[in-house]
Amino acid sequence: MFDRAIVERAFKDIAVNQTGAYWNLRSPDEHVASATIFIEEQPKISGFAANRPPSYSGLPKIWNAMFEILSQTRTILFWPTAGPRPHRCVADPALVPDLPSDLTNALGKPAIVSSGAEIEAAIALTGH
């Protein structure tokens, strides 16, 4: 569990509003982007979901916000794909030894990322 406020701070500059469990995001030209954030409506959360994030070049603030959250919490970013492993990443390499072995067997050892651009690059390598 971690504070919902970490996610709110990370997305504050691009969220249309941050009330409720469903946030629309906006592009730099102030249009509503196709990306949305789904988040639990309580002070402590176990995670959140990003749906349809655009490319890093299209809206880097989304990817940078996700990296900011990874770097401030002991969390893992997963993505769906049938492509090659890994299907997840972390910002803190110290988290890797604590991950359950069945998770590593299923999804591969996580990529270690140090920026929002590296998150998108890890996802791209899996064919997603």
pTM (predicted TM-score): 0.92
For residue 88, the SS3 value is strand
Is 44 exposed, middle or buried, given 0-12, 13-18 or 19+ CB atoms closer than 10 A? exposed
Instruction: Report how far residue 42's alpha carbon sits from residue 31's, in angstroms, rounded to the nearest whole number.
Output: 28
All residues at 6 or more sequence positions from 69 whose CB lies less than 8 Å from its CB, including other chains: 6, 7, 10, 48, 75
Segment 38-87, tens digit of pLDDT: 999 999 999 999 998 888 988 999 999 999 999 999 999 999 888 888 88
Q: Is 7 left (phi over 0), alpha (psi -120 to 50) or beta?
A: alpha
